[in-house]
Amino acid sequence: VCNGIKDARAEVLLCPASVHLSEVSKAVADSPGIKLGAQDVSVHDSGAYTGEISCEMLTDLGCDYVIVGHSERRQYHGETSELVAEKAHKALDHGLIPIICVGETLQQREADETQAIIEQQIRAAIQKLGIDAFDKAVIAYEPVWAIGTGKTASPQQAQEVHAFIRSVLAGENAAISEKTRILYGGSVKPDNAQTLFGQPDIDGGLIGGAALKAGDFLAIIKATDS
Q: What is the DSSP string of 192-213?
A: HHHHHHTSTT---B---GGGGS
- Asked if the model's pLDDT at residue 128 lies above 90, the reply is yes
Least confident of 2-6, 52-56, 72-76, 206-210: 2-6
Strand order in the sheet with 12-14: 12-14, 34-38, 65-68, 97-102, 138-141, 182-184
What per-residue confidence (pLDDT) applies to 2?
63
Residue 225's pLDDT band (cuts 50, 70, 90): confident
Residue 226's pLDDT band (cuts 50, 70, 90): low
Query: pLDDT by residue (tens digit) across 65-85?
Result: 999 999 999 999 999 999 999
- Asked if the model's pLDDT at residue 163 lies above 70, the reply is yes
Query: pLDDT by residue (tens digit) across 87-113?
Result: 999 999 999 999 999 999 989 998 999
Q: Distance between CA atoms of 154 and 164, rounded to whole angstroms?
A: 16
Q: Which residues are catalytic?
A: 70, 142
**Chain-wide mean pLDDT for the chain?**
93
What per-residue confidence (pLDDT) applies to 151?
73
What per-residue confidence (pLDDT) applies to 45?
93
Once rounded to an integer, what is the mean pLDDT over residues 155-181? 97
Query: pLDDT by residue (tens digit) across 34-68?
Result: 999 999 999 999 999 999 999 999 999 999 999 99
Residue 213's pLDDT band (cuts 50, 70, 90): very high
SS3 at position 57: helix
Long-range contacts of 146-151 (CB under 8 A, 24+ apart): 146/186, 146/187, 147/71, 147/72, 147/103, 147/185, 147/186, 147/187, 147/208, 148/187, 148/208, 148/209, 149/187, 150/187, 151/186, 151/187
CB 144 within 8 A of CB 105: yes
